[in-house]
Amino acid sequence: LWLNMNIVLTAFDIYLFFPLLGSIGSQPMRKYSCVSLSTQQLNIRNLVSYEKQKVPVNAIMFITTKGIKICVSPDQKWVQSAIKKIDQKRTTKHK
Residue 85's contacts (CB-CB under 8 Å, 6 or more residues apart) are 44, 47
Q: pTM value?
A: 0.65
Say if domain 29-93 classifies as CATH 2.40.50.40.
yes
In the chain, domain spans:
29-93
Distance CA 86, CA 38 (A): 19
Confidence of residue 94 (pLDDT cuts 50, 70, 90): low
pLDDT in tens, 52-84: 999 889 999 999 999 999 999 999 999 999 999
* High-pLDDT (> 90) share of the chain, %: 55
Structural contact between residues 34 and 53, judged by C-beta atoms closer than 8 angstroms:
yes
